[in-house]
């Protein structure tokens, strides 16, 4: 799918995404919690049974206690009242237990769903994240999963309990008087039809509301990050960012208002209808009595209206849950839409771990062609028939103009992307035959844009090796030329680096990143323009650390500054997706080709001929 969180597809489809067997898939979320659900069902059934007992006791209290022949019968009335109180207490205790179980199951299901979605996103290929805003992904995890929380928590008990209560109340009403029951339920089918229409409207509004929330989260993530704030302040664009957020917020307010009001007229009508039934029952009962009907006593009428009241709230509850289910269906569809995405890069069924002999680090590109997933038809491939071999322990550098395809080479080695054509081999084995986790364990990457977590230096280093000792941290830091700097901080290795490491200089961040890779101790090291953003002094210090890190390892360096790769064992010059030259620094200068011209431009601005001389 295209970028922007599949905005084009969703715009074309105004309704919620259509997911097959949505109801069954939601039901399967509860499968691991069968035992708790069975106990909940028993409690719900018992609680529902208790709700219809008091009205029947009320009839007996009127007919046999208060208005018994010969006057009130206090002993009988006392027994009936005692039973009623016992029923109320038992019902309350069952309700507390049931609430605990349903809340526990619902929240665990929601937690499982959130972790399942997070796990699935971790498996997605790199191109998915380059096409989709981080804030929109965050919204799926937080807003969409959080939006179904009440449904997951209350649906089972509410639907089951209210259904049983309605059925029991209906049976009790029939036992009391079938004629009055017909009066009470004659218009119910029309209410069900109306409820379905209202639910469809609310589902559409819910989808638009979640999309708006995703956009708001994306704006927040982009503009309130350190980089976003620096950009806004640098260009004095705070006002426009506030206006953009306020505009989306206004849209969100309108959608929330529409969602809150959708169905209110329906429920108002239902309330009026159901609340009016007792009055109609009194009228019909009077008419029946005038007509000579027998068996309708004062106790019958009071008990019937009491049971009817018991029918009112559960019926409203069922209708509200039905509407919530239709609304949450849109959210579940958005969640399952992500869960149904298939990672473009996945292990084969017969994939294996890297064997000990393969871990020496021999790399080979065999006629590799590659185009990015969002490439336009007819567009030139990013890599076109690239072949080379890097022997174990060699330092290989890739140079060339921007957009030539150098960084793409570094993406294909750890299999962040798969080659469109040809083969990438690790230790003589096609990387697609190896398990990704095993392959990446043998490869370390240091990129131009160093990412550090908002945590301590020690925690950032241990990301490569969680069980690393303090001595191992310091050893890696010394080899990366950063230990003395860290030791000079008041909190040393416990120093917080700040958001994305902004409390450190560029050179300090890069050396911490190098120390992190050294702690991993991979056989293959990929350096993607690791010093291009640094000043000359920082570059010199970082370059020393990189030289230490590369010693004894197969190293692929994507270089912008040619001065950093003069000592490389082999240099590949890439232009327009092809390798046009290869050799050592001296050999390429002597050839007087593209490399010589690039070097001349960077070193002293003279012509390649002068450089060769």
Is 433 domain-assigned? yes
pTM of the model: 0.69
Let me know the angle formed at the C-alpha of 222 by 217 and 224, rounded to the nearest 5 degrees: 90
The CATH number assigned to the domain holding 52 equals: 1.20.1560.10
Please check the confidence at residue 33 and state whether its pLDDT lies above 80. yes
Is 142 domain-assigned? yes
The residue-averaged pLDDT of 243-262 equals: 77
568/601 Cα distance (integer angstroms): 19
Question: Do residues 556 and 411 make contact, with C-beta atoms less than 8 angstroms apart?
Answer: no
The CATH number assigned to the domain holding 424 equals: 3.40.50.300
Residues 305 and 451 in one domain: no
67/472 Cα distance (integer angstroms): 89
Q: What is the pLDDT of residue 10?
A: 39
Let me know the angle formed at the C-alpha of 588 by 583 and 589, rounded to the nearest 5 degrees: 155
Please check the confidence at residue 235 and state whether its pLDDT lies above 90. no
Q: Of 368, 431, 421, nearest to 579 (Cα)?
A: 368
Residues 365 and 484 in one domain: yes
The residue-averaged pLDDT of 330-344 equals: 82
Residues 401 and 315 in one domain: no
Residues 266 and 410 in one domain: no
Q: What is the pLDDT of residue 367?
A: 92
Please check the confidence at residue 102 and state whether its pLDDT lies above 50. yes
218/494 Cα distance (integer angstroms): 31
Domain count of the fold of the chain: 2
Residues 377 and 334 in one domain: no
Residues 177 and 289 in one domain: yes
| Segment of 70-84, 110-124, 348-362, 366-380 carrying the highest mean pLDDT | 110-124
Predicted confidence band of residue 611 (pLDDT cuts 50, 70, 90): very low
Is 349 domain-assigned? no
564/49 Cα distance (integer angstroms): 81
| Segment of 52-56, 238-242, 295-299, 428-432 carrying the highest mean pLDDT | 428-432
Q: What is the pLDDT of residues 560-603, one digit of tens each?
A: 778 778 888 899 999 888 989 899 998 988 888 888 888 888 77
Q: Which residue has the tokens 């890599």?
A: 383
What is the domain extent for residue 564? 356-612
Per-residue burial over 69-98, b = 16 or more CB atoms within 10 Å of its CB, e = otherwise = eeeebeeebebbeeebeebeeebeebbeeb
Contacts of 104 (CB under 8 A, 6+ apart): 36
Residues 365 and 331 in one domain: no
Is 6 domain-assigned? no
H, E, C per residue of 411-452: HHCCCCCCCCEEEEEECCEEHHHECHHHHHHCEEEEECCCCC
Q: What are 101's two structure tokens? A: 């179980």
Q: Are strands 443-447 and 524-528 parallel, antiparallel or unpaired?
A: parallel
Residues 247 and 385 in one domain: no
Q: Are strands 395-399 and 421-426 parallel, antiparallel or unpaired?
A: unpaired
332/319 Cα distance (integer angstroms): 19
Residues 323 and 375 in one domain: no
Question: Do residues 330 and 207 make contact, with C-beta atoms less than 8 angstroms apart?
Answer: yes
Residues 235 and 268 in one domain: yes
Residues 425 and 310 in one domain: no
Domain's final residue, options 289, 305, 339: 339
Residues 328 and 361 in one domain: no
Q: What is the pLDDT of residue 1?
A: 40
């Amino acid at each position: 799918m295209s970028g922007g969180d599949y905005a084009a597809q969703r715009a074309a489809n105004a309704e919620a995404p259509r997911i097959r067997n949505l109801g069954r898939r939601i039901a399967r979320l509860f499968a691991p919690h069968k035992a708790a659900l069975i106990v909940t069902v028993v409690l719900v059934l018992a609680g529902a049974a208790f709700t219809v007992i008091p009205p029947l006791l009320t009839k007996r209290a009127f007919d046999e206690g208060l208005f018994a022949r010969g006057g009130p019968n206090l002993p009988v009335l006392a027994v009936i009242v005692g039973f009623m109180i016992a029923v109320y207490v038992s019902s309350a205790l069952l309700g507390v237990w049931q609430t605990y179980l349903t809340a526990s199951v619902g929240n665990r299901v929601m937690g499982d769903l959130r972790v399942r979605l997070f796990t699935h996103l971790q498996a997605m290929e790199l191109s998915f994240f380059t096409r989709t805003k981080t804030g929109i992904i965050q919204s799926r995890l937080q807003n969409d999963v959080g939006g179904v929380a009440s449904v997951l928590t209350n649906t089972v008990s509410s639907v089951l309990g209210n259904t049983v209560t309605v059925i029991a109340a209906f049976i009790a009403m029939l036992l009391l008087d079938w004629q009055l029951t017909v009066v009470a339920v004659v218009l119910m089918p029309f209410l069900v039809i109306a409820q379905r229409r209202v639910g469809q409207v609310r589902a559409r509004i819910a989808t638009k509301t979640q999309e708006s929330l995703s956009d708001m989260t994306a704006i927040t993530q982009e503009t309130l990050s350190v980089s976003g704030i620096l950009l806004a302040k640098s260009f004095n664009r705070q006002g426009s960012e506030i206006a953009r957020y306020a505009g989306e917020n206004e849209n969100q307010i309108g959608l929330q208002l529409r969602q809150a009001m959708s169905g209110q007229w329906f429920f108002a009508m239902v309330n009026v209808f159901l609340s009016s039934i007792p009055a109609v029952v009194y009228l019909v009962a009077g008419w029946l009595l005038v007509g000579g009907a027998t068996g309708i006593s004062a106790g019958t009428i009071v008990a019937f209206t009491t049971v009817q009241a018991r029918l009112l709230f559960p019926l409203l509850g069922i209708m509200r849950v039905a509407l919530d289910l239709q609304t949450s269906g849109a959210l579940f569809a958005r969640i399952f839409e992500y869960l149904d995405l298939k990672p473009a890069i996945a292990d084969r069924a017969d994939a294996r771990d890297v064997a000990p002999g393969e871990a020496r680090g021999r790399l080979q590109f065999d006629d590799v062609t590659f185009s990015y997933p969002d490439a336009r038809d007819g567009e030139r491939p990013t890599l076109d028939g690239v072949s080379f071999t890097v022997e174990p322990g060699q330092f290989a550098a890739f140079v060339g103009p921007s957009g030539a395809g150098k960084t793409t080479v570094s993406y294909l080695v750890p299999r962040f992307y798969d080659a469109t054509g040809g083969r990438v081999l690790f230790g003589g084995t096609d990387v697609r035959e190896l398990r990704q986790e095993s392959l990446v364990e043998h490869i370390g990457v240091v990129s131009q844009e160093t990412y550090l977590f908002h945590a301590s230096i020690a925690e950032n280093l241990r990301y490569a090796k969680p069980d690393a000792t303090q001595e191992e941290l310091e050893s890696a830091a010394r080899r990366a030329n950063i230990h003395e700097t860290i030791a000079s901080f008041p909190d040393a290795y416990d120093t917080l680096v700040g958001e994305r490491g902004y409390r450190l200089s560029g050179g300090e961040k890069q050396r911490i990143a190098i120390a992190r890779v050294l702690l991993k101790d991979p056989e293959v090291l990929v350096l993607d323009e690791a010093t291009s953003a640094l000043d000359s002094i920082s570059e010199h210090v970082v370059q020393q650390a990189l030289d230490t890190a590369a010693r004894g390892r197969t190293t692929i360096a994507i270089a912008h500054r040619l001065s950093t790769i003069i000592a490389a064992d082999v240099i590949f010059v890439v232009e327009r997706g092809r390798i046009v030259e290869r050799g050592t620094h001296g050999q390429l200068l002597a050839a007087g080709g593209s490399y010589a011209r690039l070097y001349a431009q960077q070193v002293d601005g003279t012509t390649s001929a002068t450089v060769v001389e």
